[in-house]
Amino acid sequence: MPTVQARITRAKKTIAAAGVPFALPPAGERRERLGGVLSVIYVIFTEGSTATSGDRLLRTDVAYEAIRLARTLAALQPDEPEVHGLLALCELTAARFPARTGPDGSPILLADQDRRRWDFSAIRRGLDALARASTRGLGPYGLQAAIAAAHASAPTVEATDWDRIVVLYEALDRIAPSPVVELNRAVAVAMASGPAQALAIVDALIASNRLPGSHLVPTVRGELLARLGRRSEARAELELAARLCANQRERSVLLRKAAALSGPSD
């Protein structure tokens, strides 16, 4: 954080020296600039909700600052559906924070979370924001919020409407295609239709080399192989994922899962 603060201080001095007015841009320019602002808030929140490195899974101070910014933007731009979509996504995701880590900071997977610890006030705020985002059809942030809402509305992982989540990911992939979206779709497909179908999606991603160096691909592939009973392959994938993962908390979970697969293979 000191590095970030130093950069902010330098940026303020640069703006002051250049005499740049610190005010809302003219109405005609706001829509053009809005996408960049939403993207920055999204990146800030994502880093807060799952830190890319370090010894903490969550950086709640960063995530809640992103939510504050999203709320401010929603107040300034109340007629922009995607602003409300991003706010809904942040609120619904943050609602799970209290249950995502144990007392020692270790990650708790979705299937093992005590859903009674979820922040239901945040869920209500998120659902309200999602309703405002839905007035003219959902954009990329709104679709992600709808996926988060499907999780937030389910009493258990098994009772989650995975078919709906698959459809939402398919819609998201049409309007904002990315390898991460495709990987997340594979996870949903595994829950809705089984691991074999999902593994084909992941293997296609690997063949296209669209997420090189990411720990997420071997993480998902390892989970799918484990569900298919291919234990030695699964263990190798999870060990690879651990080597690629820069977050110490996530790495420990991956190594623990790999260790649990030791023993009689395939």
- At residue 177, what is the residue type? P
CA 166/CA 212 separation, integer angstroms:
24
Per-residue pLDDT, averaged over 145-173, amounts to 97
CA distance readout (Å), 178 to 32, 91, 143, 210:
22, 23, 14, 9
Percent of the chain with pLDDT over 70: 88
pLDDT band per the 50, 70, 90 thresholds, residue 136: confident
Amino acid 20: pLDDT: 56
pLDDT band, very low/low/confident/very high, at 257 (cuts 50, 70, 90): very high
pLDDT value at 1 more than 60: no
Strand partners, 46: none
So what's the pLDDT on residue 3? 58
Q: How confident is the model at residue 264 (pLDDT cuts 50, 70, 90)?
A: low
Other beta carbons within 10 Å of 27:
7
> What pLDDT does 261 receive?
95
The pLDDT score that the predictor gives to residue 24 is 62
Q: Are 183 and 202 in contact (CB under 8 A)?
A: yes
**Mean pLDDT (whole number) for 215-236:** 98
**Residues 252-264, mean pLDDT to the nearest whole number:** 90
Q: Which residue type, as a one-letter code, is found at position 121?
A: S
**C-alpha–C-alpha distance, residues 37 and 40, integer Å:** 5
- As a dihedral over the C-alpha atoms of residue 129, residue 131, residue 136, residue 141, rounded to 10 degrees, the angle is 50
Do residues 81 and 139 touch, judged by C-beta distance below 8 A?
yes
* pLDDT at residue 17 is higher than 90: no
Q: Secondary structure of 187-252 in the HEC alphabet?
A: HHHHHHHCHHHHHHHHHHHHHHCCCCCCCHHHHHHHHHHHHCCCHHHHHHHHHHHHHHCCEHHHHH
Q: In terms of Cα–Cα distance, which of 170, 153, 169 is closest to 161?
A: 153
Q: Is the pLDDT of residue 127 over 80?
A: yes
For the record, the structure tokens of 172 come out as: 């998201």
Mean of all residue pLDDT scores within the chain = 92
pLDDT of 25 over the 70 cut: no
3-state SS assignment for residue 54: strand
Q: Is the pLDDT of residue 149 over 80?
A: yes
Residue pointed to by tokens 């997340």 = 184
Long-range residue pairs from 198-202, CB within 8 A, at least 24 positions apart, any chain: 198/224, 199/224, 199/225, 199/228
Q: Which structure tokens are listed for 57?
A: 């899974």
Q: How many CB atoms lie within 10 A of CB 260?
A: 13
Shortest CA distance to 149 belongs to which of 124, 177, 170?
124
Q: Residue 229, class by beta-carbon neighbours within 10 Å (0-12 exposed, 13-18 middle, 19+ buried)?
A: exposed
Rounded-to-integer distance, Cα 190 and Cα 155, Å: 19
Q: In this model, does residue 19 exceed pLDDT 70?
A: no
Q: For 46-83, what is each residue's pLDDT tens digit?
A: 999 999 999 999 999 999 999 999 999 999 999 999 99
Per-residue pLDDT tens digits for 178-218: 999 999 999 999 999 999 999 999 999 999 999 999 999 99
**CA 95 and chain centroid, separation:** 13
The pLDDT score that the predictor gives to residue 118 is 98
Which amino acid is present at 195? P
Please give the span between the terminal C-alpha atoms of the chain, in angstroms, as a whole number: 46
At 148 the pLDDT is: 98
